Structure 1
Amino acid sequence: MIRSELVQKIASENSDLRLEEVERIVDAFFDSIVDQLASGGRVELRGFGAFSTRSRESRTGRNPRTGAPVAVKAKAVPYFKPGKEMRERLND
């Protein structure tokens, strides 16, 4: 499912909301998660899971075309840990 399909699904299940309103709500939801992660925080949605960041250390990679070594800087990467309810539903 892509973002536009999610918006359509929510709008079809909530006839009192216009499509534009649902788009704004979905965008605000995703923006809030990204903002919290960018500030080093964590977002926990009970039953669904938790979003956080993990640190990746700097390393030496390789240019796939030439094979030459390339320095890859340290960075933060997003991490998602599914909640208990999600794991149970996926494994039923």
Structure 2
Amino acid sequence: MNYLLDNLELSSLTKAELAEKLTDLIGLSNREARDIVEGFFEIVSDQLVQGGSVKLAGFGNFSILEKKARPGRNLHTGEAVEVKARRTIRFQTGPKLRKEMWQPATPPENNTTERTAEKPKTTMSTSVHIKSPY
């Protein structure tokens, strides 16, 4: 995994770049790598759309979170509005990835008072809004 991280810039990783990394790392043809990346995301998307979850050992879990309707406020006008019920995708990092994320990039010098990154107290997650045709 360090091979991939060493060669990445600090920007978003696209599907094309992911396929290119697979080509370099495993020696696949460009076409095979693109097909694998597309196939992987198609399988994950289909599973989530059907209401299932995806568990990737050492990486994390994707699952569907049903959010209830709730009162909200229009930020521009201040008017009270109802936020509709919706489904979102939740990602929870696995313990291995979480541990790697919270290790300092370089070890601190001996006898310094510099603080190292601390482990978060809660699970990191993100939500993505899925527009429902219903």
Q: TM-score range by the shorter chain?
A: 0.7 to 0.9
Where does structure 2 lack aligned partners over 5 or more consecutive residues?
Answer: 1-12, 104-134
Per-residue deviation, residues 5-40 of structure 1 (Å, max 9, x unmatched): 11111111122x211111111111111111111111
Q: What amino acid does structure 2 have at the position aligned with 1:79?
A: R
Q: Which structure is higher in helix share?
A: 1
1:50-89 paired onto structure 2 within 5 Å:
50-89=61-100
Letter of the aligned partner of 2:93 in structure 1? P
CA RMSD in angstroms comes to 1.6
Q: Which runs of 5+ in 1 are unaligned?
A: none
More strand by share: 1
The partner residue of 2:29 within 10, 14, 18 is 18
What CA distance in whole angstroms lies between the structure 1 residues aligned with 2:87 and 2:51? Answer: 9
Q: TM-score, normalised by structure 1?
A: 0.83
Q: Percent identity?
A: 37
Q: Secondary structure at the match of 2:65?
A: strand
Runs of 4+ in structure 1 displaced over 6 angstroms?
Answer: none
The answer to which structure, 1 or 2, has the higher relative contact order (CA under 8 A, 6+ apart) is 1
